[in-house]
Structure 1
Amino acid sequence: MTIRVLGCSGSIAKDCRTTAFLLDDDILIDAGTGVGDLELTELACIDHILVSHSHLDHVLGIPLLADSVMRRRTGRPPIQVHALPETLAVLKNHLFNDQLWPDFTRIPSKDKPVLELVPLQIGQVLTLGRQQRAIEVLPAAHSVPAVGYAVRGPGGDWVYTGDTGPNPALWQALQGRRVSHLVIEIAFPESEHLLAKDAGHHCPSSLAAELKQVSGDLTLMLTHVKPGEMEAVKADLADRLPGTPFQMLVSGQCISLGN
């Protein structure tokens, strides 16, 4: 089981692609600009998209993917877009509304569309993909309704928090389970801690406080830093997380979770 990091930036600039992870070759977890690095044949293999929340940097790949692969998926079931009902309502009303973008939940036909919107709920465990991967929906705490995901692997769970600020419900959900990888966001340096709080994101001080909840041997991976802020974030983290090993995710990175 492999998770490929297609994008892990909080916005765009040269070599900065927004959040998207590819599980195996048929499940997307979020669909930011990083989706555009996939070959057309790879795009056509995607059968499921798990969306953490409705913000543009996590969903803008969905309409473009649908347009690209529609003619290559004739006769196949629709791509299932899984998200909270509130998130699906935003996609339906403000994206697939035949104004901002064609409604690919009715194209090429109402009976056989290229996309299907599928609601989920926090705590639900989905079994998806050709490899029947078990994926749990986790709580997130953001400025809009949001979730994270835990992909169950043989050596423990790969946990993606989604966009989130301080989130006691997440640590409660993870109690007593083995986590092999924790992918948690940090969007802003400490100089912008007030903006981070208002926007429902982490800065170094809030992240350091959250990580006091983490125990056990896991790989800590940080994502969603805004372009141009990486060095400031690293410096701030060096002061607040001395001795704590972590990785900054990079686009193109592959994370192996065993079979």
Structure 2
Amino acid sequence: MSMSALEYAQKARTLCVLPDVYLRLKEMMEDDRASLSAIADVLALDPGLSATLLKIANSALFNFPREIDSIAKAISILGMTEVHNLVNTYGATAAFAHVDSDAIDLDRFWEISVDCALICKYLAEKKHIPGGKGLFVSGLLHNLGELVVLQSDAGKVRYCQQYDKNETPWQRQQDVLGFTYADCSAELLALWQLPESLIAPIRDFHRAYGEERSPAASLLYVASRLALLNSHPGMYAKKHFVGLHILKDLGISMAELDEAVNFCNLEGLSILRALKLKKPQQ
């Protein structure tokens, strides 16, 4: 009997547990009475989380001219929304960082996810996309459903990996599972009670080609396909694959797509290492 996207997500939630510090911080950041200093103190209790936040805060994602050398300073400069987004990023990736399987190439999985996140971040800021503030997180986690399904059905995931130029990964997922990995991602993130603003683009972006969706969902549509193209050069024709009418609606040129890819190629490895998704070369 086939499982639904929600059933896969419910099963994965029991196997891939969010870090305790993430759950505590989530409560504090959603509490208007929590002080910035109290949040900084909790962040500082977890060296791994603190180091991750500082590395990302000092990366080209934010391009701050001087070093951010403390959590308190990061909160002050970046603002609570961005720090909250980074904590959500840390929590979700940490829950799956130690997945081990020969069914998929995990390095490639995370590389495509980070590329998508960086493309979203770059274009959302350049084009002032409404609702683009959390698109880095949405881009990073949009395909988390692949790791969710992997926990229960490695064979189906392995089959879905065998796409070629005549079909997209999403067509295979829909044919085999009855839903896409993005649908499963959205279900798990909802179970984890992440903000709806981060989940909505993931839930909607596959429909952006044929239906009117939010600018954030439309940008995620473009970024997810551009990240796949970057991983498989020449497999698909870029102009048609990313949706020309969506680019027109968002005011994005082909040259700006190239700029976004160059940005993710330059910064991807540092983000992968900051999130401990790729080990340094020995």
Q: Shared fold by TM > 0.5? A: no
What is the TM-score normalised by the length of structure 2? 0.26
Q: Which has the higher helix share?
A: 2
Name whichever structure is richer in strand by fraction: 1
Between 1 and 2, higher relative CO (CA 8 Å, sep ≥ 6) is seen in 2
Q: Give the TM-score normalised by structure 1.
A: 0.28
